[in-house]
A and B are shown apart, each in its own frame.
Chain A
Amino acid sequence: MTTSLKKLVTAVSTSVALMGAGYAAADIQIGIAGPMTGPVAQYGDMQFSGARMAIAQINAKGGVMGEKLVAVEYDDVCDPKQAVTVANRLVNDGVRYVIGHLCSSSTQPASDIYEDEGILMITPASTSPEVTERGYELVFRTIGLDSMQGPVAGNYIASLNPERVAVVHDKQQYGEGIATAVRDTLKDKGIEIAMFEGVTAGDKDFSSLVTKLKQADVDYVYFGGYHPELGLILRQARQAGLDAVFMGPEGVGNNDINTIAGEASEGLLVTLPPSFDEKEENQELVNAFEAKGEDPSGPFVLTSYAAVQLVAQGIEAANSQDPFDVAAALRSGTFETPIGTVEYDKAGDMKSFEFVVYEWHSDGSKTPLN
């Protein structure tokens, strides 16, 4: 009964929204494209909830240039093929600003279409450096890059005055990239790198590696890669009695590492985007989310909120609704958002995006260290 009622309400509200979009031609349409269904739908929920909240709050304050913002939502299932279909639908619907997509693999092909069709895109979640590497004019993001994490991790390890550090990676673009950045940062600080070595992603037996780490008598190990390998390394290191401290990028920071490593994940260091919802200046906003029964603590809620705000502020700064003018305005101005002061470089990346070092606990919780 309740579910059918819910369906009815959704159906009615969707048709109302569609009608609204059809009638009010003067409104500014904001496309939100991300996964509503599929394996990473929980991340999509964060994106939609943040963007909807921003649209509602901006409209409550009178909209942008006297016009209301209207959300138009699309589901790409985090599938590159669906993302292209969604991008084409967006073009046909006449949307000129997109908040999305979420997965880098979706953002990449969709952004080709947006750039060609003159649509401004701000992704609140895609961290792959390639997204902004192609010299596109209309592509922006409100999140850091994979390549920014390495130096943060390297500097943190250096600040602990380690004697010998080992850097291990999974030989893949993401992992080796970050690991190389960590190694270079540490070398610049004059810290001895005892080992720089790759493992094969998908491998299960790391006993030889662990033995080697023990022999090298390292006190810190940085691992560039994902949780399946690091989880096993942690566990096998614990069993072999290696007492080094491990550190990894955001690719290892999810609860699956606890199911693999168990107790051994206690004390792991992880670099993650900061918890924007814990900042004092965002408390009013956090309360607004909580009043709606939504959780603002997910990593992509406030980045999506900021993305909508940036579109609105960009339109106002450019005093034009042409996406190219808005893009130029975004590149030249500085903007205040819940994720901090945003300034863009030529590529469409934020000039600074801090990553925070957390201490991971085996129950899945984490405490910030810097």
Chain B
Amino acid sequence: MQDLLYFSQQLINGLTIGSAYALIAIGYTMVYGIIGMINFAHGEIYMIGAYTALIAITGLTALGIAWLPLILIVALLCAMLVSSSMGWAVERIAYRPVRGRHRLIPLISAIGMSIFLQNYVHLAQGSRNVGFPALIEGGFNFSADGAFEMSLSYMQITIFVTTLVCMTALSLFISRSRTGRACRAVSQDLGMASLLGIDTNRIISATFIIGAALAAVAGLLLGMYYGSVDPLFGFIAGLKAFTAAVLGGIGSIPGAMLGGLILGVSESMTSGYLSGEYKDVVSFGLLILILLFKPTGLLGKPEVEKI
């Protein structure tokens, strides 16, 4: 019983962090699916989302507003708005002018953008860690007669439910809406979609905006969950989310979700049963293994050479 509780606790820890990875991974996978580039500045967009949410929360609290749902919704909207504009601007400034060139050029442009955004936040917000208020506290506790008590916090439930809602909404949007259909068309064949009268520039911008908005949601959630943000906040998270996207099959939206969860659970199980020192070894080892046997990732479709 004791061991089962311990296992479930590590599973909960892993699923929580994994679903947040998935939210960030969507941005990588959608952009790759459509224009075939890896947007390395995406981790920074997530970090900016977290900072914006924190600024909004601090501002609202300073104004004397204490009603939690209002604070959360306003913070979420602010973060999504700022991050989306950033995502859009980054694409316009750094990627569109070099689109269609050699593959390396947008990649280098993306790395440059990432360095720029990181240092911009360093200058604007300082390089210290900033505390993030814990707005959602408390949770359920489960205990057998033993000493170990399993806890499932409201914050973890919030992260899980929000991710689920976002993912469902995104899937519906992609499969049902007009823009979603255009997205799929552009991802299948950019040139053809353009010939058929789809404004591909608009669709590409929309992809960046959606990815950035989801990253902002993750920024707010993880900022609250961890408890602090700093300008390097997006670096590791971005790397992990990118791994999740590749693991699940880059270009595939359900793949990003699956990849995120697998990565999160394997990390927490490694820390829980082996040692925290091997966490990254196991998760990146897993990535290599999957890529060796299934180079397109778990749910990725084999790439058909476009003629």
Inter-subunit contact A214/B149 (CB<8 Å): yes
Residue of B nearest to A240 (CB): B151
Question: Which one of A197, A236, A239, A256 lies within 8 Å of B129 (CB-CB)?
Answer: A256
Bound-complex Cα distance A212 to B10 (A): 9
Contact with B13, one of A197, A211, A227, A235 (Cβ below 8 angstroms): A211
1/0 per position for B120-162, CB-CB distance to A under 8 A?
0000000011110110010001000001110101010000000
Contact A211 B10, beta carbon cutoff 8 Å: yes
B267 interface residue, CB < 8 Å from A?
yes
A241 touches B141 (CB 8 A): yes
Nearest to A208 among chain B residues (CB) is: B271
Question: What is the interface of chain B mostly: helix, strand, loop, or mixed?
Answer: helix
Given A207-B13, A207-B16, A239-B153, is A198 in contact with B129 using a C-beta cutoff of 8 Å? no
Contact partners of B267 in chain A: CB under 8 A: 208
B155 cross-chain contacts in A, Cβ below 8 A = 239
Residues from chain B with Cβ under 8 Å of A207 in the complex: 13, 16-17, 268
A328 proximal to B (CB < 8 A): no
Cβ A239 vs Cβ B131 within 8 A: no
Interface with A: B183-191, B198-206, B229-237, which one? B229-237
Residue of B133, B153, B276 near A208 (CB, 8 A) is B276
Q: Is B6 an interface residue (CB 8 A)?
A: yes
Scan residues 255-284 of chain B and give those whose CB is less than 8 A from a CB of chain A.
Answer: 267-268, 271-272, 275-277, 279-280
Which A residue sits closest to B9, measured CB to CB? Answer: A211
Tell me, rounded to whole Å, the shortest Cβ–Cβ distance linking B8 to chain A.
10
A44 at the interface (CB under 8 A from B): no
Find out whether the CB atom of A208 lies under 8 angstroms from the CB atom of B13: yes
In the complex, are the beta carbons of B148 and A208 less than 8 A apart? no
Given contacts A208-B13, A235-B227, contact A256 B222 (CB under 8 A): no
Q: Is B119 on the interface with A (CB-CB < 8 A)?
A: no
Digit string of A189-216 for contact with B (CB within 8 Å is 1, else 0)? 0000000011110111101110110110
Count how many chain B residues have C-beta atoms less than 8 Å from C-beta atoms of the other chain: 41
Q: Using a CB-CB cutoff of 8 Å, which residues 223-263 of chain A contact chain B?
A: 227-228, 231-232, 235-236, 239-241, 256, 258-262
Interface string of A38-73 (1 = CB under 8 A from B): 000000000000000000000000000000000000
Is the pair B279, A228 in contact by a Cβ cutoff of 8 Å?
A: no
Q: Is the CB of B131 within 8 A of A200?
A: no
Task: Let me know if A260 and B129 touch, CB within 8 A.
Answer: yes
* A260 engages B228 (CB within 8 Å): yes
Task: Flag if B275 contacts A197 (CB, 8 Å).
Answer: yes
Per-residue contact bits, chain B 223-251, to A (CB 8 Å; 1 contact, 0 not): 00111101011011100000000000000
CA distance A207 to B17 in the complex (A): 9
Bound state CA distance, A89 and B151, in angstroms? 61
Q: Which residue of B lies closest to A258 (CB)?
A: B131
- A171 interface residue (CB < 8 Å to B): yes
A199→B129 CA distance, assembly (Å): 18
Q: Which residue of A lies closest to B230 (CB)?
A: A228
Name the residue among A207, A215, A235, A256 with the largest chain B CB count within 10 angstroms: A207
Interface residue A217 (Cβ < 8 Å from any Cβ of B): yes
Indicate if the CB atoms of B280 and A228 lie closer than 8 Å.
Answer: no
A208 touches B134 (CB 8 A): no
Contacts of B268 in A (CB 8 A): 207-208
A259:B147 contact, CB within 8 angstroms = no
Residues of B within 8 A of A (CB): 6, 9-10, 13-14, 16-17, 128-131, 133-134, 137, 141, 147-149, 151, 153, 155, 222, 225-228, 230, 232-233, 235-237, 267-268, 271-272, 275-277, 279-280
Q: Can you list 13 A-B pairs with a CB-CB distance of less than 8 A?
A: A203-B236, A204-B237, A208-B14, A209-B276, A214-B148, A227-B129, A228-B228, A232-B226, A235-B134, A241-B141, A241-B149, A259-B130, A260-B228
